Amino acid sequence: MNDTVVIIYNGEPVSVPKEVANFLEQDRKREQAEKKRDQRHLSKSEFETVLSCSDCVRRPVEDTVLWNLRLENLRKAVDNLGDQNRDLIELRYGRNLTMEGIGKIYGVSKMAVSKRLKKLHEKLRSSVT
């Protein structure tokens, strides 16, 4: 009473005993169930590891809100600068001019532009943080 079943193996039909076909079918279903379970769940230890690693946990909404607050603070700080300082920021970062190019516009050296920008960075950094 050796019943055989035809299964597809590597794209080819193969005759195997019914017990082998049943075993293969159970194994296939078990693998599918494991894949689904793995996709839905983290093991407890993995979950605890993720929670304990604050750098690993991303909070997109909070990150966006904090970024927007910092950006708004920076805008306010730039608005509080004098006209010449705002122009300097605009030339450097808005128009992407080099320090040498800015120096030519103001009639000062590249080093003078660099020093002014450094002071502005410090002033803006202290008012934003």
Q: Copy the structure tokens of residue 64.
A: 């966006």
Phi, psi of 4, deg, nearest 5: -120, 155
CB under 8 Å to 91, separation ≥6 — which residues? 97, 101, 102, 105
Query: Percent of the chain beyond pLDDT 70?
Result: 80
* pLDDT given for residue 17 in this prediction: 85
What residues does each domain of the chain span?
A: 4-52, 60-128
Per CATH, the number for 60-128 is 1.10.10.10
Tens digit of pLDDT for each residue in 46-70?
545 544 555 555 567 777 877 888 8
- Is residue 128 within 8 A of residue 73, CB to CB? The reply is yes
